[in-house]
Amino acid sequence: MNKNRRPGGKENSMKDSIKALRELEKRLYAYQYAMAVADYDSETVAPPESSAGRAEAMEVLSRAYFDQLVSADTAALLQRAAADAETEQEKAEVRELQRSYDEIGKIPAEEYAAFTKLTQESMPAWGKAKRGNDFASFAPYLEKIVESLRAQAHYFAPDRDPYEVWLDRYEHGLTIAQCDTFFAALRETIVPLLAAIKERGSAIRTDFLYQNWPIEQQRKLSKKIMEVWGLDPDHCVLGETEHPFTSGFWHGDVRITTHYMPQDMFSNLYSVAHEGGHALYELNVDPKYDYTTLAGGATTGLHESQSRLFENYVGRSRAFIHYLYPTLLELFPQQLNGVTEEEIYRAVNRAEPSLIRTEADELTYSLHIMVRYELEKALMQGTLTVADLPAAWNAKYKEYLGVDVPDDTHGCLQDIHWAMGDMGYFPSYALGSAYSAQAVDDLRKTMDLDAQWAEGNMQPLKDALRSRVWQHGRAKEPQWLVQSLCGGAFDAAHYTNYLKNKYTELYGL
Ligand SMILES: [Zn+2]
């Protein structure tokens, strides 16, 4: 019995609007599905000279997607559905679709089209500038991108700081004040820790890391990690790409990729561990959200929290390396001859300040993110000009990581994100690590995670994460999911304490 039952005819029309909403969501899903498959295909098995035809198809598909989403019909439907939605799921579907609609619908069509064109041009310009160490040739594109992002933020929320509008876009509910506090805590912890390691840290054996690691054996290791994570090959496959990534088409079909390096076995090991964490999230969203806007992981920060949990907190733990050690010895008997479990643990956890974010270790990674956060915020707020970016970049790398940047190719041109028009995206990488540190602390109160990981038993961890986060997809607001994951209000101290304890012990500080 529904006590709030509305009179007669109203109930039929209510069902109609929700039904129409679901049909729209399914159409949007189908376009996204087609584009995701084409994109995955292009990154994995498509022949090199196949892009022209794909670009034509993608243009039609993406235009069809946006025409479906942003139209007077959709606006009217959202209004009706908002009034009619009764269940929690229906309300969440309206909320998420309205958000997608507003993100595009509030921007004038010409501005949106011009920005799409701009990013299509700026990406190859960035690639060329990076290869030729020629920041000046990329600068005009970056200036226009910053200008357009500021304008778009203004259309979306005229009274808000433009950078915060974009932070909120990627991690809904996140503010500049929260980010400032978060990164200040990281700076105060990591910078002195790194200095202490450099000054008096005990040496770590690394001679066995770079040698010949047969790819065939590395493939067997990938399979082993996927088995331990419990990634069902009927629903998740591993491909090979230049840069590893995860693509979830729907909860029954998730693709992950890795990159095999003949000289570095651990790179693939931790790529599979990381992407496998992303995949587990996508595979475990409640099927009742299939083909709706509520399917899939909620935010990039939450997604990174899951991938980093499996990569770092599980994959780099003493317990898990103890479990994996016999497999490693079996697959690589010569390479690991005379190398102990503890030596592997120490080597895969070593901290070394470096120039390149994607090669950074667990400790210094967040410093790379902090540099980008501070610089993109300054660019968006107008306190830093694009022309001054390289010098500002180099100064921060010196200050935080203690390294000299030799050229812009290894400096401010290294990442594609800004060329793609993404500003406000980077902080979610560091936040993800911090969310998972707190989650692990909270889970340890009632679970002996180390004992489970030492046996290769991921089930209790997965059950907990499924119930706290995975199953909900986007049905809950990101801030609710973060609290649910962490077992309370987010507090960066869990992450900074984790790093302090781990590296103090590792380096005998
Ligand atoms: Zn990731």
Note down pLDDT in tens along the chain; length 509 residues. Answer: 444 444 444 444 458 999 999 999 999 999 999 999 998 998 889 998 888 898 888 888 888 998 999 999 999 999 999 999 999 999 999 999 999 999 988 888 888 888 888 988 898 899 999 999 999 999 999 999 999 999 999 999 999 999 999 999 999 989 999 999 999 999 999 999 999 999 999 999 999 999 999 999 999 999 999 999 999 999 999 999 888 999 999 999 999 999 999 999 999 999 999 999 999 999 999 999 999 999 999 999 999 999 999 999 999 999 999 999 999 999 999 999 999 999 999 999 999 999 999 889 999 999 999 999 999 999 999 999 999 999 999 999 999 999 999 999 999 999 999 999 999 999 999 999 999 999 999 999 999 999 999 999 999 999 999 999 999 999 999 999 999 999 999 999 999 999 999 999 999 99
Find the 112 Cα to ligand 1 centroid distance in Å: 27
Strand 236-240 to strand 253-258: parallel, antiparallel, or no bridges (unpaired)? Answer: parallel
Find the 168 Cα to ligand 1 centroid distance in Å: 19
User: 265-283 and 215-229 are packed helices; what angle lies between their axes, rounded to 10 degrees?
Assistant: 30
Cβ(193)–Cβ(353) below 8 Å: no
Find the 304 Cα to ligand 1 centroid distance in Å: 5
Catalytic annotation, residues: 275
Question: What residues contact 84, with CB distance under 8 A and at least 6 apart?
Answer: 13, 14, 15, 17, 18, 90
Question: What residues contact 129, with CB distance under 8 A and at least 6 apart?
Answer: 135, 137, 138, 408, 413
Predicted TM-score (pTM) of the model is: 0.93
Find the 380 Cα to ligand 1 centroid distance in Å: 25
Find the 301 Cα to ligand 1 centroid distance in Å: 9
| φ, ψ (nearest 5 deg) of residue 255 | -110, 135
**Cross-sheet strand order for the sheet of 246-250:** 236-240, 253-258, 246-250
Give me the pLDDT at residue 486, please: 98
Give me the pLDDT at residue 109, please: 82
Give me the pLDDT at residue 142, please: 98
Cβ(339)–Cβ(473) below 8 Å: no
Find the 303 Cα to ligand 1 centroid distance in Å: 7
Spatial separation of the C-alpha atoms in residues 86 and 90, rounded to whole Å: 6
Find the 19 Cα to ligand 1 centroid distance in Å: 35
